[in-house]
Copies of this chain bind each other. A is one copy, B any other.
Amino acid sequence: MEIRSKIWIEKNGEPVFSKGRCILLKAIDEHGSITGAAREMGISYRKAWGYLKAMESRLGFSLVSTRVGGGRGGGARLTEEARTMLEKFEDLETGMKELVDRRFAEIFTRRDFF
C-alpha cells in the first residue's frame, strides 16, 4: 500500500493554485509563450489562457506579462509574483509529501496490513 496526497490553494472557495496550474506556469516559463505551453500540455491556447486569467483574477495579481508585439503570436514571461508563488507551493508540496510518507509508515505498520 502507498499513500497519495494532493494539496491546492483556494480563495473564497475557488481553486487558485494547484499542481496542474504549477505545470502550466512552468511550461510558460520554459517555452516563453502561452501557445508553446498549451501545445506541450495538449490543451487549447484558449483553455490555457482561461486558466491563467481565472487564477490572476482570483489572486488579484498578474502571473504572466506579455511582451510588446505579444498576444497569441508573441512571448510571455512569468512575473516575480508568479515565481514566488510557484516556489512556495512546491516547497509546501515537497514538505507535505515527506511528512505524509513518514506518518503513513508510522501509523500503518507492516504487521497490521501486509
Closest-CB distance, A47 to chain B (whole angstroms):
23
Number of A residues contacting the other chain (C-beta, 8 Å)? 28
> How many copies of the chain does the oligomer comprise?
2
Q: Are A10 and B5 touching (Cβ within 8 A)?
A: no
- On whether A6 and B6 interact (CB within 8 A), knowing A84-B112, A88-B108, A104-B92, the answer reads yes
Q: Check if B7 sits within 8 Å of A4, measured CB to CB.
A: yes
Tell me if A100 and B96 are in contact (CB < 8 A). Answer: yes
Decide yes or no whether A54 CB sits under 8 A from chain B. no
Is B103 in contact with A5, judged by CB distance below 8 angstroms?
no
When each residue 1-29 of chain A gets 1 if its CB lies under 8 Å from chain B and 0 otherwise, what string results? 11111111111000010000000000000
